[in-house]
Amino acid sequence: MGTEGDNVRVIGGRYRLEARIGRGGMGVVWRSTDTLLARQVAVKELAVDESLSEAQAHEQRERMLREARAVAQLRHPNIIVVHDVVQHDGRPYIVMDLVNGGSLADRIARHGPVDALHAARIGLALLGALRVAHAAGVLHRDLKPANVLLESGTARIVLTDFGIAQVEGATTLTETGGFVGSPEYTAPERMAGDRSGTGADLWSLGALLCAALSGESPFRRDSMGGILHAVVYEEFRPPAEAAPLLPVIQGLLEREPARRMGLDEAERLLRAYVATGATPQAAPPRMVVVAGTDVVVVHRRRVPTRVLLVAAAFLAAVAGAGVAAAALLADRDDNASQGPPSSTSVPTRTGTASGSPTPTVTVTREETRTATPRPTAPPGYRTVRDPQGFTVAVPQGFSRSVDGERVLYMSPRRTFRIGVRTAGPLSGGPAAEQRRAAADGPRSDPGYRDGKVTDTSHDAHDAALWEFTRDGFSAAEGPRRTMDLCWEEGGRAYHVWVSAPVGRIDEARGYFDAAVDTFVPSAGN
């Protein structure tokens, strides 16, 4: 038992819990004293589901402790320091560094939003923390302003509360026991129940940056159903305050994980803003929103139908969300080629008082290529018109070569390789094509492993993303990761892929996103 007296407990034989300084969905945080080393620490008392059987509760505690120990191995100036992990009276506790200062959420509540320069510096600090965590296979899964500490008297920004973190590849009890996290900052793939990767943390960062600049999450609504609807369906309407960092925020809030901005690209753009006060702009696909007599052009990406359907079912289970779910299902985008651009009425961001009808806007989708122009080449890239019948943006300094049916653009020393292959119609479509290739991977690619095929879309065309790791072409090169997107368009099939060392995959995602976003088949190809 802990030592009781004057409402003070001692756990682990040395940590005296003195005052509660925070509470969240995963437990209570105490200002404490390490009596052995005579220093102040923070102790998080993790909540345990009291409805579990004794065996289940034991399993939950053990998993929490394993995950906490994994987080304790992380070392970065912008990650909270974990000193110890203990179990006391059947309950797990995490002993952490005590950061004197409030959270970003406290800062916003007391003083309002931060300016763009401060937000960019917060973003850079969190990207540095996520880089280290992701490299160690740790996903945070609850990135939000309340979990970002601003140390008083210094400029240090600290990411904390890895209490629901997940070790990549492991199934955790916090995951299997139900949804855990903050819905306003949760990526659509997690809402849909998919196993999420590092991109889910980057989505959360995009929502956090928007909140830091405007004062609230862009997905805040009056109900859980409204939040889920906003995350998986509604067009992102950036607040005016987000304009200085909008290219980063939009890139991070890309709904399709395969097209979401990578960590390296987000870091590059934020550093550019800090250095120059200006962020490079890109022109993503768009749609037209008609509200009354006003016409507003906003940025758009197609939401995968599977995500819409799963989210709609989830919404229907939430009290008061039936209407939102019905609207979502009625407006699903199964096949843009089945008819002319459609219109639907959807709720605006907030309702009206006294039970008056919720205002609506009419959304008209433009699905033709002429209505959704490709982004121009990002800074540091050049647009090439390839003799094989396509244009694409590739980084400056990449050289071209041809390997059979494949066109390759490679960095010096072949570290990064961007590939394009065109073919005739596919038997069974892109998904079948990619799954055949994945099944053949162990034979065709030495050391093939961690293969995964994900159904997705590309500019309203069905597509499939194949990701896998293989041995490098030499022992010195090490293992490599490949991302390969396949889709059919105009009677032809297209593959665009990027291959890179496993340790530099985030940088490669930036190249991949640029290639996919700017790829255009030549007329008549």
SS3 content of the chain, % helix, strand, coil (to 5): 35, 30, 35
Cβ–Cβ < 8 Å for 483, 451? no
Q: In the block, which residue shows the tokens 């952490």?
A: 96
According to DSSP, residue 79 is labeled: B
Q: Is the dihedral of CA 511, 512, 518, 524 positive or negative?
A: positive
Q: Is the dihedral of CA 381, 520, 516, 187 positive or negative?
A: positive
Tokens standing for residue 402: 């041809």
Q: Which of 488, 492, 522, 523 is nearest to 424 (CA)?
A: 492
Q: 36 φ, ψ to 5°? A: -75, -45
Three-class SS of residue 298?
strand
Please, which contacts does 246-250 make with residues 24 or more away whose CB atoms are closer than 8 Å?
A: 246/279, 247/279, 247/280, 247/281, 247/282, 248/123, 248/206, 248/209, 248/273, 248/279, 249/206, 249/209, 249/210, 250/206, 250/284, 250/299
Q: Is 507 exposed, middle or buried (0-12, 13-18, 19+ CB in 10 A)?
A: buried
Q: Which of 42, 79, 48, 81 is nearest to 65 (CA)?
A: 48
Cβ–Cβ < 8 Å for 58, 49? no
Q: What is the largest CA-CA distance in the chain?
A: 82
Q: 429 — alpha (psi -120 to 50), left (phi > 0) or beta?
A: left
Three-class SS of residue 372?
coil
Inter-helix orientation angle 198-214/116-135, to 10°:
160
According to DSSP, residue 436 is labeled: H
Q: In the block, which residue shows the tokens 């006391």?
A: 88
Instruction: Decide if 142 is catalytic.
Output: yes
CA separation for the pair 219, 172 (Å, rounded): 27
Task: Give kind and range of the element (H or E) at residue 118.
Answer: helix 116-135
Identity (one letter) of the amino acid at 435? R
Residue of 34, 142, 331, 462 marked catalytic = 142
Please, which contacts does 85-92 make with residues 24 or more away whose CB atoms are closer than 8 Å?
A: 86/11, 86/12, 86/15, 87/61, 88/2, 88/11, 88/12, 89/1, 89/2, 89/11, 90/48, 90/57, 90/61, 91/45, 91/46, 91/48, 91/61, 92/46, 92/48, 92/61, 92/64, 92/65, 92/68
Tokens standing for residue 341: 């651009």
The residues annotated as belonging to the active site are 142
